[in-house]
Structures are given as structure tokens and as C-alpha cells.
Amino acid sequence: MIRQGCQTMTCSKYSSDTRRVQVDIETARRIAKGVLGAKGCPPDITVEAADHLIDSDLSGVESHGVWRVLQYAGYYDSGYLTADVRPRLEQNARGAWLVNGCGGIGIPAMTLASRNVVTRAKDTGMAAIALQHVGHTGRLGAFAEYAAGQGCLTIIIGGGGRQNWRLVAPYGGRKALMSTNPYCIGVPGGNRGPVIVDFATSAAAAGWVYGAKVAGAKLPEGVLIDRDGRPSTDPQAYFDGGAILTAGGAKGYALAVAAEMIAEAMLGPATTECNWLMLALDCGLYQKPTRLQELAEEVLSELRDCPPAPGFDQVDVPGEREADARTRNRNRPLELPSATWGEILRLAHDLGVETDAPNTG
Amino acid sequence: MIRQGCQTMTCSKYSSDTRRVQVDIETARRIAKGVLGAKGCPPDITVEAADHLIDSDLSGVESHGVWRVLQYAGYYDSGYLTADVRPRLEQNARGAWLVNGCGGIGIPAMTLASRNVVTRAKDTGMAAIALQHVGHTGRLGAFAEYAAGQGCLTIIIGGGGRQNWRLVAPYGGRKALMSTNPYCIGVPGGNRGPVIVDFATSAAAAGWVYGAKVAGAKLPEGVLIDRDGRPSTDPQAYFDGGAILTAGGAKGYALAVAAEMIAEAMLGPATTECNWLMLALDCGLYQKPTRLQELAEEVLSELRDCPPAPGFDQVDVPGEREADARTRNRNRPLELPSATWGEILRLAHDLGVETDAPNTG
């Protein structure tokens, strides 16, 4: 399926000439687990993280896919992240809930937070939880899918950490000063499940830039500027002192600054990577789930039926493309950039992880 | 001050050749009050609405300024809005709070909601309130400024009402199906006050399109498509079956769909105009106000000091431009499009409202 002007995370941002190799899903999962385990992650964290990354690839969000084991391994080596820790649920002196990630990978911290905030929202109507001292939190959409699936409107906002992560230039500026400060909203939807909004306030998530470099791919125009503020499509321009632009100009920038106030000023200073705020509201406070689904489906079916604009073949509902991709990709090999998979195999080999796979054709 | 590529609401989106006239602030306020009062609004609602609209003009947000009295007057005439009502605070059977706008103008409903949600958030840590049966709610930033000024992170999301307000085409589609579904976030900031994010998920708020038509002005590229899906800068193209585009392509669209799920599916169906959800979190749960301000100022001063990109003269902090505009504009006449002010004077005259003003030079 050809889509012109695709801007969602579920079609690859890598240039179409990127060489790719087919990799059996279970082989990729086993090797990802092997690498994380060899670096010292507890077995349960290893399983959860590897499953999460593979699920991102299956969802078509390869910026948050299995290539991240390379990044995480580097973080463990440098001491930026700690492998052998688990997140802890805590309350501060004013009774506010937070998850202390203890400097480990953020995926299990985000799981713990989403379970806790949903349970409390279902009990009292609404709840908030903060996340601090966490590493990379994976694909936020996965946690919003869970919470919305439980009937909660869920809002996740991340920011801070600009001392380590000066990636994005403010609107009107030419120097990278902020992280990609993502927003994720999940809300119960129609007959095909929750509506999920999951985006960086930058023109592309950092994963696309890092991943494109590993994959040897170019990026679309409008994503990067080089160190002199000139437009570039070369991910290397970013690493040579350039910056990622904000999404939608002033609007993405404004959201990014609000995230900075929340995560750095209210919850910070951020230590490891970003700080996060997660809010959940039980939609059942205002509407019966069956009625909500009926009204949602009325809206969403109108959107799906909208005549496409020139260059598009259909109108998508946010979140459905990822869900469709998971269904479609479940029983076929991953198609990973060859360079990326080669690096993962080399790392696994160096760590003594078994890399020979049964031939899956 | 010339700003290339300005995309915020605080520089006019009307073409620079739009003819303008200087109008004394108190004259504009008095005539706006006169028109609303003559249409049957209670005196307190009249004062509040007129003050709000004038404050929007002073803030540089002329899409939500005094020209709206023309629109409101038309709504009262057609029966779309009811003049002689006040909003009511209610709780539903599950104890959830809501403001019933009773089919009146939405500005006093939004004031009531913001006061209630802040009071409860300061008491219990966080709170939510819904708004239903409301007309146009004015400039959302004004309410977020109040709530953030009280120390609360505040999120306001509106949507629904697509039966009356099919303005915006979904990303990838060519038919107007949704309203402009705005988001507004207010959060305590640094030494210069709260950070305020206030935007339509469309490429421009509907007020710019309606206001441009009244003013006889063109709009920038990337805002409108005509009935055939072709780009247009003529506001009339919109009224002839065209549509407003979403902001930032897929990202603004995704936010718009989430707003639709919240306002139409969870809080709806919407009756008068949009339904709204307002959330407030007491930032003091997580940080002392003085420390929050200190950390915020560190971030914001870095942003203000960022070297500008070609075509820009500075990097702005969201919300500060409106605050600066209010300070700057407080003691000088409004500069309203001549055509707009002429229509307001004609309407006032027809209603027997005194239009002769003392000469203010």
C-alpha cells in the first residue's frame, strides 16, 4: 500500500532504499532477551522489555522496536542506566503517588504506573501518578491502549532531562535545547477499540533519527536542521550539532514547553531521562461504556468513510493502524534494516548469546 | 516588529492590507455591552462577556475579540443561543461535576467551571469538570491563566457538535467533518507567569476564518482547502463547501479525534456547540511553588536566550506574547478591521445602542 505524505509513526520514516532482512519474530525476541539478560537485567524485566520492543515492531513503530537493545546495552555499559533494578511504587509526603524507576529501563516503570493509576481511577474517578528516575519508556501507546481498554481516558506527558537530551530546537530558534517531550492520549473508542494519540512534540521521535543512522537511511524534509540552521535529511547532520524541529511549528513547540514545566519544573529536576505525568479519568463517570462506544463509532465511521484527499487512499483513525499492523504482522517475519540486525547479531555474539535460529524460510 | 512565519494566534492571520480603524477601548467595551444587553443578556453576563472579548483583543487574539458580538447577536436572533440564561453547577448520578450552560453563551460557563475545578483540586489534589449545553466559550487561555495562576496544571479539551460545526477535514480527507476541537493547557511557569498553550487542532481557529471574511482579509496558505480539496487563501472558499486543514497534519488530526471521543462520545452527544472537559491538578502535590518557579525559570530563560533561526527575531515562551500584548495595549486604542467595526456600529445603531463616543484622539 502506497501512502503519499504519510506522517504517522506506523509507516517507516526511513528512505525506501534502506536494505532490509527478514527475521523470525521468535528469533528476534530470543536474541533481544539474551542481550538484555547478559547485560544483567532481571529475567522478568528482560521478558517484559523484549516483548514490548517486538510488539512495537509488530505495530509498525520501528522507532521503538528491537533496535533499542543496542541503545539499552550501550546505556548499561556506560553506567547511564542500571540493569539490575526494578521500579518501586512510592508516595511522597503530601500523599501523591509516584513510580521510582531506580535508574533502570523505563518500560516496567510505565507498566507499574499504568496499572496503579487505572486501579485508583476506577476506584475514585480519577488519579495521577508521576514517574521519576526512569530510562527509556518504550512505546507509550502500549500503556495508553491498556488504560483506555480499562475504560479510562489516559494522558501521558513527558519532558525534562534536557541536560542529557538536547535534541529539539524551540520554534523560531536554531539550537537544540529540549528533548522530544512526547504526549500520549488513550480514550475508549468504537467497535475497533481505543483511539490512541501517541506523538513526540518534535517533527519526529528521536528513535527515528537514531534508528535511521543505524539503518543508513535518510529522513524526510522538515524533520532536521543542521548546525547552521539549514534543512537537512541526513541523520548525521543532527549528530554533528544540528537539531530536530518541532511538530506543527509553534503548536508542537508550545506543547513541548508545557511538558517541560510539568516534567522538569513540577516533577524535577529530571535525573535519568524524562520525568512523566500520567493522568487517568474513569469515563464511566460520565457515560455508560456501551453508549460511549456507540457514540464513538458514529464519529469514527464517518471519518473512515471520508472521501480521501489527492495523494491519500483512505482516512485513518489514530491507533487503528497500529492495531491493524499487529494483526497483519503476527504470523510473518519482521523486516528489519539489514545493518541494524547485523549489529544486534554482532552484539549478541560478543555476549555469548546463541544466534543460530531454526530456518524459518 | 516583523515576524516571518508567525504561526501563533497573537499575530493577526489577516492579510496585512486589511484596512483598520482605531477604536477607543472603553467605547468598544460599552458598545459590546450595549449590543449584548439589547439582545437580552442579563447585566452580569453582559459585563463578563464584553470584558472577556475586549481582553482577547488586548491580548492580540483578535479571532476571539469584540467582533464576536456580531456572531453572538446572530445566534440570539436565530434561536441557536439563548440570551437570558445563566450557567448552572450540577452533579450527575455518579457524583461527577458538570456545568450546564443552559444553551447560553459559554464564557460565564467556563468561568464557573474553572473556579469550581480549581477549588476542588486545591482541596483534594485533582479534579475534573465537564461543560455541556454551552455556546462559544471565548478565549480558553484566559481560563487557563486563572487556574495556572492558582497553582494548578489545567487541561481543557473541547469537541463534538459536528452536526452544526463541520469545519475541519480529517488528515488525508477532503470533506469537513469535525469542529476545530481545541486544546488548552495552563501550567505555573517562571518569573513572568504561567505557560499557556491554547490552540485549535485545526490549522487556524474558526474565528480566523469567520473574522477574515468579515474583515475582507485573506488567510495564509496551508489553512484552507476549497470544495474540491484544492489549497485556497480565500475565506469564502471555506463557506462555499471547503474545509479547514488540521494543524501539523496527522498530529493535529489525532488530537482532534481524541477530543471527539472525549466530548462527543464520553460527554455527548453535544447539543449547542462543543462539550468540554476541564482537568486540574494541584502542582503543590509534587513541588513547592517557589521551587517550581525557580526550575521553570531555568528552562524558560534558556529558551528566551536561544539564538533565533533565519527569519525570526526571537524565541517566544507560550503565553508571554499575550501577556506582553495586554501590557502594551492597555493604554492605546484597539486597531480593528474597519469593515468589522462598521458592522458593529450598524448593529448597535439598529438596536438603539448609543454609538457616539467622546473624542479620544
- Do the chains contact at B248 and A252, CB–CB below 8 Å? yes
Say yes or no to pLDDT of B158 above 80: yes
Q: Which residues contact B47 (CB under 8 A, 6 or more apart)?
A: B33
3-state secondary structure A299-336: HHHHHHCCCECCCCCCCCCCCHHHHHHHHHHCCCCEEE
**Predicted confidence band at B143 (pLDDT cuts at 50, 70, 90)?**
very high
The C-alpha atoms of residue B158 and residue B162 are separated, in whole angstroms, by: 12
| Averaged pLDDT, A142-166 | 94
| B187, B258, B260 member nearest A261 (Cβ) | B187
Domain hosting residue A93, numbered range: 20-360
**Predicted confidence band at A211 (pLDDT cuts at 50, 70, 90)?**
confident
Cis peptide before A269 (omega within 30 of 0): yes
- Do the chains contact at B299 and A265, CB–CB below 8 Å? yes
The C-alpha atoms of residue A170 and residue B306 are separated, in whole angstroms, by: 8
Contacts of B292 in chain A (CB under 8 A): 265-266
In whole angstroms, how far apart are CA A167 and each of A178, A201, B322? 6, 11, 27
Nearest to A38, CA basis, from A68, A66, A77 = A77
User: A223-246, pLDDT tens digit by residue?
Assistant: 999 988 888 999 999 999 999 999
Helix (H, G, I), strand (E, B) or coil at A130: strand
The C-alpha atoms of residue A331 and residue A319 are separated, in whole angstroms, by: 20
pLDDT in the model for residue B8: 36
| Averaged pLDDT, A257-272 | 96
Query: By CB neighbour count within 10 A (0-12 exposed, 13-18 middle, 19+ buried), where does B228 fall?
Result: exposed
**Predicted confidence band at B305 (pLDDT cuts at 50, 70, 90)?**
very high
Say yes or no to pLDDT of B88 above 90: yes
- Do the chains contact at A253 and B5, CB–CB below 8 Å? no
Residues 153-212 of A with CB under 8 A from B: 153, 155, 162, 169-175, 177-178, 185, 187-190, 195, 197, 199
**Predicted confidence band at B12 (pLDDT cuts at 50, 70, 90)?**
low
| Averaged pLDDT, A256-265 | 98
* Number of Cβ within a 10 Å radius of residue B351: 16
| Averaged pLDDT, B128-132 | 98
Element (H, E) at A185: strand A182-190
3-state secondary structure chain B: CCCCCCCCCCCCCCCCCCCEEEECHHHHHHHHHHHHHHCCCCHHHHHHHHHHHHHHHHCCCHHHCCCHHHHHHHHHHHCCCCCCCCCEEEECCCCCEEEEEEEECCHHHHHHHHHHHHHHHHHHCEEEEEEEEECCCCCHHHHHHHHHHCCEEEEEEEECCCCCCCCECCCCECCCCECCCEEEEEEEEECCEEEEEEEECECCCHHHHHHHHHHCCCCCCCCEECCCCCEECCHHHHHCCCEECECCCHHHHHHHHHHHHHHHHHCCCCCCCCEEEEEEEEHHHCCCHHHHHHHHHHHHHHHHCCCECCCCCCCCCCCHHHHHHHHHHCCCCEEEEHHHHHHHHHHHHHCCCCCCCCCCC
Asked if A142 and A114 count as a contact pair (C-beta separation under 8 A), the reply is no
Contacts of B308 in chain A (CB under 8 A): 172-174
The C-alpha atoms of residue A34 and residue A28 are separated, in whole angstroms, by: 10
**Cell 533494578 -> residue:** A85
User: B222-233, pLDDT tens digit by residue?
Assistant: 899 998 888 999
pLDDT in the model for residue A277: 98
Instruction: Write down the mean pLDDT value for chain A.
Output: 92
Asked if B277 and B160 count as a contact pair (C-beta separation under 8 A), the reply is no
Number of separate domains in chain B: 1
- Do the chains contact at A285 and B315, CB–CB below 8 Å? no
Residues 250-279 of B with CB under 8 A from A: 250-255, 257-258, 260-262, 264-269, 277, 279
In this structure, of A12-21, A69-78, B181-190, the range with the lowest mean pLDDT score is A12-21
The C-alpha atoms of residue A119 and residue B339 are separated, in whole angstroms, by: 56
**Cell 535508574 -> residue:** A103
The C-alpha atoms of residue B143 and residue B138 are separated, in whole angstroms, by: 9
Query: By CB neighbour count within 10 A (0-12 exposed, 13-18 middle, 19+ buried), where does A228 fall?
Result: exposed
B146 inside domain: yes
Residues 101-130 of B with CB under 8 A from A: 125-128, 130
B52 or B166, greater pLDDT = B52
- Do the chains contact at A251 and B252, CB–CB below 8 Å? yes
- Do the chains contact at A169 and B317, CB–CB below 8 Å? no
- Do the chains contact at B248 and A253, CB–CB below 8 Å? no
The alpha carbon of residue B209 is apart from the nearest alpha carbon of chain A, in Å, by 18
Say yes or no to pLDDT of A303 above 70: yes
Instruction: Write down the mean pLDDT value for chain B.
Output: 92
pLDDT in the model for residue A210: 83
Interface mutation target, options B120, B257, B300, chain A, most CBs of A under 10 Å: B257
Number of Cβ pairs closer than 8 Å across A and B?
A: 259
Largest CA distance in chain A: 58
Q: Taking chain B, what is the end-to-end CA distance rounded to the nearest angstrom? A: 24
| A92, A199, A253 member nearest B251 (Cβ) | A199
| Averaged pLDDT, B202-226 | 87
Percent of chain B at pLDDT above 90? Answer: 81
Measured between CB atoms, does A11 come within 8 Å of chain B?
A: no
**Predicted confidence band at A357 (pLDDT cuts at 50, 70, 90)?**
low
Measured between CB atoms, does A92 come within 8 Å of chain B?
A: yes
Contacts of B162 in chain A (CB under 8 A): 299, 302
The C-alpha atoms of residue A90 and residue A134 are separated, in whole angstroms, by: 14
| Averaged pLDDT, A170-176 | 95
pLDDT in the model for residue B1: 24
- Do the chains contact at B249 and A5, CB–CB below 8 Å? yes
- Do the chains contact at B285 and A128, CB–CB below 8 Å? yes
B58 or A357, greater pLDDT = B58
The C-alpha atoms of residue A340 and residue A64 are separated, in whole angstroms, by: 13
Contacts of B91 in chain A (CB under 8 A): none
pLDDT in the model for residue A301: 97
The grid coordinates listed for A355 are 544466534
Closest residue in B to A6 (Cα–Cα): B250
The grid coordinates listed for B137 are 466559550
A189 inside domain: yes
A296 inside domain: yes
- Do the chains contact at A172 and B248, CB–CB below 8 Å? no
Measured between CB atoms, does A293 come within 8 Å of chain B?
A: yes
| A170, A173, A261 member nearest B296 (Cβ) | A261
| Averaged pLDDT, A171-175 | 94
Phi/psi at B98 (5° precision): -150, 155
Which residues, listed in sequence order, are joined to residue B151 by a DSSP beta bridge? none
In whole angstroms, how far apart are CA A337 and each of A203, A215, A217, B67? 22, 6, 9, 56
CATH number where B66 lies: 3.30.1370.60
**Cell 528521536 -> residue:** A206
Interface mutation target, options B178, B251, B283, chain A, most CBs of A under 10 Å: B251
Strand B88-91 versus strand B97-104 pairing type? antiparallel
- Do the chains contact at A265 and B279, CB–CB below 8 Å? no
Strand A126-134 versus strand A97-104 pairing type? parallel
Answer yes or no: pTM beyond 0.90: yes
DSSP A41-98: --HHHHHHHHHHHHHHHHTT-GGGSTTHHHHHHHHHHHTSS-SS---EEEE-TT--EE
| B98, B283, B303 member nearest A170 (Cβ) | B303
Length of chain B: 361
Closest residue in B to A127 (Cα–Cα): B126
Measured between CB atoms, does A91 come within 8 Å of chain B?
A: no
Say yes or no to pLDDT of B206 above 50: yes
The grid coordinates listed for B207 are 474565528
ipTM for the predicted complex: 0.93
| Averaged pLDDT, A146-159 | 98
Measured between CB atoms, does B352 come within 8 Å of chain A?
A: no
Say yes or no to pLDDT of B118 above 80: yes
| Averaged pLDDT, A272-297 | 97
Helix (H, G, I), strand (E, B) or coil at A151: coil
The grid coordinates listed for A67 are 533496535
| B172, B247, B258 member nearest A197 (Cβ) | B258
Nearest to A28, CA basis, from A69, A86, A73, A64 = A69
The grid coordinates listed for A12 are 517507516
